[in-house]
Structure 1
Amino acid sequence: MESEGDDVELADTLEENGNQQNSNPNPQEQELRKVGYGIFEQMCETEQLEFLRVILESLNQQQLVKAETMICSLLQKDFISLLPAIGLEDIAAEILTYLDSKSLCAAELVSRQWKGLISDSKLWKKQLEQKVKTDRIWKGLLERRGWMHVIWQTETENPVLNSEFYRNLFPRVYIHVKKLKQNWINEEPTYKIINCNTNGESKGVYCLQYDNSKIISGHRDNTIKVWDTKSLECKQTLTGHTGSILSLQYEDNVLVTGSSDATVRIWDLSTSSIVTVLNYHTDPVLHVRFIGAILISSSKDQKIAVWSINRKSLTASLQTALIGHRAAVNAVEFDETFIVSASGDRTIKIWNAKTCEFVKTLKGHTRGVACIHYRGSLIVSGSSDHTIRLWDVDSGVCLRVLEGHNELVRCIRFDERKIISGAYDGRIKIWDLQGALNPRVSGNVLCLRTLWKHTGRVFRLDFDEFQIMSSSHDDLIIIWDFDVQGNPLEEVHEAIENLNDKMICE
């Protein structure tokens, strides 16, 4: 219930903005009004609201507009400024932490009190901390620029790191992030090339994986090579397979490889040694994947083997085999829900990951399916029919067909925004994933760009927020870097610049 003073103020205001002829009532009218106010004050809340409704219904349009303005003015309460005045500054600051950067930028313009609260509470520093925790691009860019350490330092540790520092650092990073996203579409990437220099006719890099410190590649000459990410020098060559290395995956010190010698091998990277050799397949092992204690391999022998792997002893035992394809199983992906396999028989099959029971077959490609990437509710596949297809996992419906490659699509990966494909035509293409999922977007605009530097078939690729790494029959590993150019931050205080607020609010 509103206070009595507010009720009287509203009544007085309505009166003052009413008929100007009654702006100076005589003593008798004043007495009548006092009696009316007294009666109104004695009413319960429901009766007061009903009384006001009747009065409002009797007003003309002009009076209603004025009444609305007065009511809105009475309802406006700057609680953000009021809370610090009663010792609740922390609560006011906590409320403002829920604003995104655009809203926080606008909040600074509300009043000096709001801007002071934002500054004193170091909310721009908290914005940066939140971005680092939730956005891979922001985190990666801060690491690349050498800015990460300032996010977690305090002003006590470094006096330069005051509120104004973070207020100016945020738009600086924002601009770099925006430029990086634009570079994937508009700018020519820089190139770093590893020439593997394989002798004789055994040239070709069939598979690779990388992280911030190393690249591990599998080669046609039966070797596995470990490269330093920064120097691009080969630090180690692992031998043991008697056939080409067709697939690999590593995590921490565990490396699993599949080879044309029909074996799966488990390596300890800390000792660079083979711990276990798995013999089940009778033809080349075309793909291996492991998550946790489950390892899955697929082969030219048309079978998919499901293994239980002990991550400590690096041993494994066969649990079951999935049989159903009528040609080589070229690729396999899985998570805790489904196992998804792609085959030369032109189909994609989905299996229950827990029971290993067959679920459904996806048909649509007119030739063999060479590669897949499966995540969440989406499967993206590439085929020797030169096309890429997007599939809904639950319904099995083909959502889109992408055309543009001139030969077999050998490798495919996607993230939240884009699909990247590599093919035997030597091209790497970047596609708009969100556009591809929108049936109203024309297929003619979905290929954002084509990269062409390999002189042979593209066998494998992977990418992150900054770069693509690809390998080819030409014996090259190419790193395509889309990061914004510029000198790394040598002195952190250079981030304090007079940047226009529009850089954030645009």
Structure 2
Amino acid sequence: MCDVSAVECSDTSVKQWSLENIPVEIFLHICSYLDARFITRSLSLVCKRFHEILSDITVWRSRITKRWGNEYPPVPVDTDAFDWRLACVCIEDQYEFWNKKDVQMKPILKSDIHYAAVNAVHLMNSGLLCVSGSRDRSIVLWDLSNVVNDDTEVPYQISSDVHTGWVWKFASCGETVYSCSWDTTVRSWQLTPSLQPVSVFQCRTAVLSLDCTANLVAAGTWTRDVMLFDTRVGQSEVSLYRAHRSAVLALSMFGNFIVSASEDHTLAVWDRRAEKVLKQLNLYADKGKVNDVPMCMSFSNNLIYVGDSKGNLHLINPAQGQFNIVDSYKVGHSAQLTCVQHGMGSILTSSTDGTVRISTPTQRPETIAVISSQVGEVTGFDYKNDILVVGGTHSALEFWLPCSS
């Protein structure tokens, strides 16, 4: 038997490769046939040498470049600080998952609980709990933790008439969920394990958008205001700003910034620390599209995506507080965008055209999959840990759950 080093076997000198001396080029070529998650979680742990090779960020950056060109990430980043390995895992995971959605996910339609359009859906507890809110003024808590392959029954609890107007949006921090309504209030609820009312925050006019951090709740209203509440000091507003000329349709908080989108066609960036408007953006200033309105927003991973009333998706780069408009895209929808959510691995968008589309998070997003929903016009969705919930105008929700292995 030959040794692992170069030795003579019979009359022939043979080079035997082992984990210790396999050429890096051949090892990486083998890796190109394996998925990034397996490489990271398993192969990199085989031996010290594999770990050292796979700890080099150039390996992961090169892998992404070969697959996606120079289009990922969609804005310039600090190459040394960016987590190329995590990005590679995320984008490959999402691409593979949604490409095989027909065998990896099962849809469950629930159209007999709410009796009006479901405008708000929100996933909590790693996606295992869902809250839905409707124009019927009720909130339903859904337990997704024990739904298995051959079971379409989803346990739920109904809290009726929790608002006196349409339930419009949800946000959550930890075990606390916030709901906003056309009845001019934001209400907080505690999961214990059912929804228990905690506080009521009065906003004077209809609340159309909502977000929260650990102690701060931001509410965008029909009358142009963004109102801030600190849950540690009571139910009265601690701050208010008016940067728009019309209703605030979407907002998101990230760090010291609150970004709000309005029916007046603009986005405003509010600096909470300085208590002033840092920047005002008109997405359509140079395009003459006076009827286009920003409708929804996603702010995470140092990127902002804004969806509008004509099915366009706009990318904004908040780097260094500049909040510059990068580009605008068509992602395949034929009508108004109602919700957008993005991460390192995918962009999800929904529309009144009745679909949810999953796209690559690249400079020019490419369609990975399309879900034609059974809920009518899609009013919104939430996506967490490969669980998708969709709300619509047909008084219905649709859960897309991963199939059991």
TM-score if structure 2 supplies the norm length? 0.69
| 2:298 equivalent in structure 1 | 373
Contact kept, 8 Å, 2:311 with 2:334, in 1: the verdict is yes
| 2:240 equivalent in structure 1 | 321
Structure 1 residue 187, shift from structure 2 partner: 4.8
1:432 partnered with 2:360:
yes
For residues 226-267 of structure 1, the C-alpha deviation after alignment (integer angstroms, 9 at most, x for no partner) is 111033534322242111110112333312110110101112
Contact kept, 8 Å, 1:329 with 1:341, in 2: the verdict is yes
The 1:295/1:386 distance shift into structure 2, 3 A limit, reads same
**Matching of residues 76-225 of structure 1 within 5 Å:** 123=47, 181-185=95-99, 187-188=101-102, 190-198=105-113, 202-210=116-124, 211-225=126-140
Q: 1:390 aligns with which of 315, 324, 332?
A: 315
| 3-state DSSP of counterpart to 1:188 | helix
Structure 1 residue 180, shift from structure 2 partner: 6.4
The 1:306/1:178 distance shift into structure 2, 3 A limit, reads closer
| 3-state DSSP of counterpart to 1:325 | coil
The one-letter code sitting in structure 2 at the alignment partner of 1:273 is Q
| 1:470 equivalent in structure 2 | 390
Contact kept, 8 Å, 1:368 with 1:383, in 2: the verdict is yes
The 1:356/1:398 distance shift into structure 2, 3 A limit, reads same
| 1:419 equivalent in structure 2 | 347
| 2:326 equivalent in structure 1 | 399
The 1:386/1:234 distance shift into structure 2, 3 A limit, reads same
| 1:237 equivalent in structure 2 | 158
Q: 1:291 aligns with which of 213, 216, 219?
A: 213
Q: Write the distance in 1 (CA, Å) between the matches of 2:368 and 2:46.
A: 40
| 3-state DSSP of counterpart to 1:345 | coil
The one-letter code sitting in structure 2 at the alignment partner of 1:322 is Y
The 1:380/1:179 distance shift into structure 2, 3 A limit, reads closer
Q: Write the distance in 2 (CA, Å) between the matches of 1:187 and 1:411.
A: 20
Structure 1 residue 461, shift from structure 2 partner: 1.4
Structure 1 residue 219, shift from structure 2 partner: 1.5
| 3-state DSSP of counterpart to 1:261 | coil
Moved more, 256-265 or 365-374: 365-374
Structure 1 residue 186, shift from structure 2 partner: 5.3
User: Highest CA radius of gyration, 1 or 2?
Assistant: 1
Contact kept, 8 Å, 1:405 with 1:425, in 2: the verdict is yes
Moved more, 292-301 or 269-278: 269-278
Q: Write the distance in 1 (CA, Å) between the matches of 2:97 and 2:196.
A: 41
| 3-state DSSP of counterpart to 1:197 | coil
| 1:227 equivalent in structure 2 | 142
The one-letter code sitting in structure 1 at the alignment partner of 2:381 is L
Q: Write the distance in 2 (CA, Å) between the matches of 1:321 and 1:180.
A: 39
The one-letter code sitting in structure 1 at the alignment partner of 2:167 is I
The one-letter code sitting in structure 1 at the alignment partner of 2:335 is E
Q: Write the distance in 2 (CA, Å) between the matches of 1:456 and 1:464.
A: 22
Q: Write the distance in 2 (CA, Å) between the matches of 1:302 and 1:185.
A: 41
Q: Write the distance in 2 (CA, Å) between the matches of 1:186 and 1:248.
A: 30
TM-score if structure 1 supplies the norm length? 0.56
Q: Which has the higher helix share?
A: 1
Q: Write the distance in 1 (CA, Å) between the matches of 2:398 and 2:175.
A: 25
The 1:178/1:330 distance shift into structure 2, 3 A limit, reads closer
| 3-state DSSP of counterpart to 2:376 | coil
Q: Write the distance in 2 (CA, Å) between the matches of 1:414 and 1:376.
A: 9
Q: CA RMSD in A?
A: 3.6
The 1:355/1:307 distance shift into structure 2, 3 A limit, reads farther
For residues 348-392 of structure 1, the C-alpha deviation after alignment (integer angstroms, 9 at most, x for no partner) is 111113223101112124322111111243210011122111111
How many equivalent pairs are there? 320
Unaligned runs of 5+ in 1: 1-79, 82-98, 107-117, 132-174, 437-444, 489-506
Question: Whose RCO is larger (CA < 8 A, sep 6+)?
Answer: 2
| 3-state DSSP of counterpart to 2:102 | coil
Q: Write the distance in 1 (CA, Å) between the matches of 2:353 and 2:164.
A: 29
For residues 293-320 of structure 1, the C-alpha deviation after alignment (integer angstroms, 9 at most, x for no partner) is 111111112110011112xx9x433111
Moved more, 384-393 or 270-279: 270-279
1:346 partnered with 2:273:
no
Contact kept, 8 Å, 1:254 with 1:266, in 2: the verdict is yes
| 1:364 equivalent in structure 2 | 283
| 1:255 equivalent in structure 2 | 177
Q: Write the distance in 2 (CA, Å) between the matches of 1:263 and 1:451.
A: 34
| 1:479 equivalent in structure 2 | 399
The 1:212/1:329 distance shift into structure 2, 3 A limit, reads closer
Unaligned runs of 5+ in 2: 1-19, 32-41, 56-88, 148-152
The one-letter code sitting in structure 1 at the alignment partner of 2:304 is I
Q: Write the distance in 2 (CA, Å) between the matches of 1:374 and 1:431.
A: 17
| 3-state DSSP of counterpart to 1:435 | coil
Structure 1 residue 330, shift from structure 2 partner: 0.8
Contact kept, 8 Å, 2:295 with 2:307, in 1: the verdict is yes
Percent identity over the alignment?
18
The one-letter code sitting in structure 1 at the alignment partner of 2:166 is S
The 1:460/1:203 distance shift into structure 2, 3 A limit, reads closer
Q: Write the distance in 2 (CA, Å) between the matches of 1:194 and 1:454.
A: 7
